[in-house]
Amino acid sequence: MKKILLIILFLGVNSICFSQDSKLTNDEKQQILAESPFNNVYPESILKSSATYFKAQMGLYKEGAIAEKEAHLVALGTSAATNTGNIGTKAYLAGFQWSDPLSRDGTADDVAGSVATELEAEYTPEKVKQLRLAIETRLNES
């Protein structure tokens, strides 16, 4: 029984001690936040390792099936829902706003290209951050 308690104690101490990054200086924090506007969604206690992970995952976003900007928007929406505890489908979808269908002339590729260009111009990193905060606020109110 003592061995089991010691093992549990050892694992508990290790998981607590090694699950956090070392303390960041203000300069390090500002540098990490300047590298990508998406780094601001991570808690400061894991910011350094999250930024490293984010850099490693960028290859998946750039070469994956989902376009990079769309993947970031989905990740930010998911982050906002998770941060507010609204992880059920109904609560998650409550953060989205849907418009009426629109019609455009051109082939599917032409329309997709023009819509992507419009979205890239409209959804700057600062606007995405504002939207994330608005979604969190809305989800907190529901």
> For 126-142, what is each residue's pLDDT tens digit?
888 888 788 778 777 76
Domain ranges of the chain: 67-142
Q: Which whole number is the average pLDDT over 17-44?
A: 74
pLDDT exceeds 70 at position 65 = no
What gap in Å lies between CA 126 and CA 132, rounded to an integer? 10
Task: With 0.75 as the threshold, say if the pTM is over it.
Answer: no
pLDDT digits 0-9 by tens, 74-124: 777 777 777 777 667 776 676 677 778 888 999 888 888 888 888 888 888
